[in-house]
Structures are given as structure tokens and as C-alpha cells.
Structure 1
Amino acid sequence: MLYDLARTLMFKLDPELTHNLAIGALSLGAGLGLDRFCNREEFSEPVEIMGLRFPNPVGLAAGLDKNGEAVDGLAALGFGFIEVGTVTPRPQSGNPKPRLFRIPEHRAIINRMGFNNAGVDQLLVNLERARYKGILGINIGKNKTTANDRAHEDYLVCLRKVYERASYITVNISSPNTPGLRTLQFGESLNTLLDALKTEQARLTRVHGRYVPIAVKIAPDMSREEITLVAGSLKTYEMDAVIATNTTLSREGVEDSRHGGEEGGLSGEPVRGPSNTTIRQLAADLDGALPIIGVGGICEGFDAAEKLEAGASLVQLYSGLIYAGPRLVRDSIREIELLRNAKR
């Protein structure tokens, strides 16, 4: 009820302003030690994938805390893992405002942020201040001004810089808001990138004496044949996980909404179906070769359990959290627990 009241007030403000205020409030609350008073939902058995032990299978997706400013406050909501970013080698302001739009009647959001972030170096400074000792994913991307044929250089810069701090690293090649980025998901562009990442991962493992898994985040807008090709490349280069999915370019279901025609990626309830379809097809193509982290359209607890039934091992929340509030973390953990118990 408290969150419902707060949401009513927040929704009267500009969406990006509200987002920034929420990040600031979470950071301030953690700094004052208020995070210690939050109740965390217990999960009976940890989930082990990528060589990591997750205390529960419900995580925070990248995008909400791009610069790692509120990790402690977000962790207090009960997430089993936190993913920050997307971060790029150099700071960039992103696309012109306005660039974030709510579609409350469909529990959806359209954004065209454009990888706005303070740069990888500032992210690491912010993370040094955090007390959080749980599983931390760092999501990396390329700067808008970097040509696609040199994109791998940006990813390698970020990989090297975050390697020592991250529990796992996510390679974002599926945001629709950086021109040409999604072409990196296919063919020789994808293979070149994955080969460079795995080669550097092996070198960094020797340097640091520690293996940090790499996940690849893909879009929900691929054809059946494209998913099969991507799955083949992920297996060939022995990637550690795949995150399915990012936002969609489709406007199915929101065509008549006030902001339905805005450019950018659509997230929230309308992407649940395309995301689940992608997860099912990936699960069939991968056949257990690497785990799937499901994200997209989780607005109720049973949506999270549905992703596990589709083939995911873990889930991540973002847009649904804006509409449902912190209870969504607890409800998702409970529904997944019920699913697990029912299968025993």
C-alpha cells in the first residue's frame, strides 16, 4: 500500500526525473543504514550456474542502476543478484530528452536512453563505495561514436576494466537505442566479437587467477532461424550464459496508447510473450549447453515462474518493478519456490 501511494505521486513527475530520484533515495537510504531493516524473502536452495552460487533466482536487470550508485539499496529489496550498467568505455550523455515514457495501462515502458552513463571508470569508483558482497553482474556496451567494425575494441576495454570487480559480465549487443548495435548479434560480426571476448577472458583468467563468466544479452525480435544461428555461435565459442531478452521494437498491444508510437525499446508486460518464445526456442537449440537468464515482462510472481518453465535458470526484473514495487521480488521468489516444490 505504501508503494502504491508513492507510485501515484511519482507518476505525476517526469519519468526520468522520477528514476533519478528513486536511485538517489535508494542510495541515501543505504548510506543511512536503513537497508538493514528490510525483510528479505528466504529461498530454500541456492541456484548454481556459471560456477556461481545464487542465494535466490531473482535478480535485477541492467538499466535501472547504470552507474552502480544504489547497489546497497537495491540489494536490500531481496534480489539474489544485481546487474549494473550498461556501461561504456567513455562517458556519454545518451539520446536527447524526453527519452523515457510510461504506458501504465499496459504496465509498459518505452525508452530510448542510448547508453547514457558516466563511463566505466566512474562505475568502478562507485562500486568501491558499496558494501554489497553478493553476486554482481556488470553489463558492458560500446560508445555510440565507435564504428561497428571496431565495436569489439570497446567491449574489450570494458571487459579488462571490470573483470576484477564483477561476478559475471554481460555483453549487451541487443539495445535498440544505439544505431547498428543489434547487427552485432548475427553472422561474422557476432563470431568476431565472441572470439575476441573468449580469447581475452582466457588471458584475464591467467592474469587474475580467477575465471569470470561472460553472458550475452539478446533481443526478442529474432526469427526462429536467427535464434538457431545465435545459439550455435554461443555454443561454438563456449559462452557462459545467455540473457533473453532485451526490449522489443514491436508495438503490438500498445499501438493505440498515448506514447505507443515513440521510438525506442518497449519493455514491461507486452514483451512477456516474445521473451518467453525466445527462451523456449533457445532452450531447445542450446539443449543444456549453457544456462538462460530470463527477463522481459515479469509483472507478477507467476510471470517469473513461467520463465523457468520456458527454460530459464534465473530471472531478472526491471519494468515490472516500477509498477508493482518491491513486493514483486518477494512474490517472484515465492512463485518459483512453489514451482520447484511442485516438480519434486
Structure 2
Amino acid sequence: MRAFSYERPSSPAEAAAAVQRHPGAKFIAGGTNLLDLMKLDVEHPPHLVDVNRLGLDRIETTADGGLRIGALVRNSDLAADARVRREHPLLARALLSGASAQLRNKATTAGNLLQRTRCFYFYDATKPCNKRVPGSGCAALGGFNRIHAILGASEHCIAVHPSDMAVAMRALEARVDTVAADGRTRRIPIAELHRLPGETPQVETVLAPDELITGVLLPPPVGGRQLYRKVRDRASYAFALVSVAAVVVREGGAVTQVRLAFGGLAARPWRNEAAERRLVGTDGGPAACRAAADTLLDGARGHGHNDFKIPLLRRTLAATLAQAMDRA
């Protein structure tokens, strides 16, 4: 076991300042990801800053009818909240499809957004991984890459982001509130939070090391049909091979608004507005679905074991849209 120090600050700004004072320090809340990584010697922070007592565990209605979700709201509590279930059912469904009940009772909103990839090689300290040791190589490229990315990858990394909740929040156009050590705050669209690997796969978000997520803001509900479909190897406690978060609004038989976000495809929740536009004004039928999938998959590339994700995505999108249009 590697030694580390620990502290429990009393405010978000103090927590951010504590991380700034200790290079390499990490925030810890539920610990459902970080503690595993520490045990496996993938992460070895010299200092842990416990943020559990910062009062960031509330779900509040905003003046415009949206919701502000505190960073420390547990996944179980968020999925069970009556406002979430009524106004943003997509989010509740995504949360309940993730992990296990025990983990959802501990995992937090911010921690879920910031969880690291479940790539086999990232977790195995004996294998080269550019996320873990920059410049060491990517073992997944020539290895067993069944769960890996088909979009947005690079020759340096083909890992995917594992969160179900983040995919739903991408479709709901959430924004993320943060505070830094100097007290500076900012609001980041979730579309800009996660980075693609490029040449620096170890840099996974746009957050500074001392920047603490304090909450997530959901805009007022858009209505329509909200669905979350997750394809995985077993019915529970498994990460997505492909997932689709869909918000479909229609008048009569025609789609007037659609948002589609995808998991299991890339290093961040994936959304392609051009593909969505292929569906607007249509009946959402098979021809429109094929056109949207063609646009979505432009540039997609399998790496051998995960080639099946391309036709799987087409079928999953078709099934989701059929259900949204009441044709299932």
C-alpha cells in the first residue's frame, strides 16, 4: 500500500485550494472508482481531499423550471427523485442501468461524470497504456479490443468513457458548474467537458487539477418521448457495448426535434447534430433511420474485435427510434 495523507475541508473553495497545495492530490467522495484504481496501483495520489461534507447533496428546482443537481447527490437518490422521474425520465433510466444497487448508493453525480475508462489494459499495470503512462503505447490497438471505441479515437488511445449517466446528460444538454482554488467559478456545457484522446489521452477533461465540480444544471424539460437503450453482455452490472439516449418530440407523425447521444463508442458521450437533422421532418421510419446512421457512422472504424459495434449501432438506433415512434 502506498502512503497518502487525508483532509476534510469545510467548503468547495477550501477543497479546491487543498488540491492545489498538494500536487497530484485527488478529490474523493463515494470512491467507487478511485479506490479501485488505488488498490490496483493505477492511481497513487499522495493526498486525498474528502468532499463529502460540503453540502453539495441537494436537488433543487431552478427559476426557469430546470434542475440543479449537487455534485454529491448519490446516483440512487437522483434516479429516485420524483422530479427527475417525471421530467427527465431518460436520466433515471440511464442511472438505473448502471453498476449495481450498492454502487449506486455510494456513487456521486460528479464522480460518475469523471470516472475513468474500464479498458482492460488501463487497469493492468503490466501492460502499456498511454492514459496511465504517457508515451508507453496502447496495448488495446493490437490486443483484445471488443469494448473499445469506433469513433473519435486516435493511434494513441481507443478507450471509451464508461458512464451511462453522462450519455443521458449529453442528450439533455446539461451544464456543469465548477469552482477553482482562487474562487473562480465557471459553467461548462457537458458537450465540452470530456476530451477526445488525440495525442494526450491522459488528459480526459477540460478541468484544471484544482477545479471541483459543484453541481450539474439541467435545462427545463423539453417533453416528448425519452428513452435509454443499453446493449451489454449481461442484463446487469455491465458496461455498454452500445447505448442510445433519445429525446424525440413530434407533432402528428413527424419528428420536430430529436436529440441522440451514444455511449460505448468514444472517449466521451457522442452526439452528432447532423445525424439528428436527418430525422427532423420525417416519420422516423427505417429510411430516415438509415440516413441518420450513415451520417453518425461517417468515419467510424473498428479495430478487429469491435467491428461488430458498427452494425450493432445501426440496429440499436433503429430499435430505439421505432419505440420512440410507437412502432416497436
Larger Rg: 2
TM-score by length of 1: 0.25
Q: Which has the higher helix share?
A: 1
TM-score by length of 2: 0.26
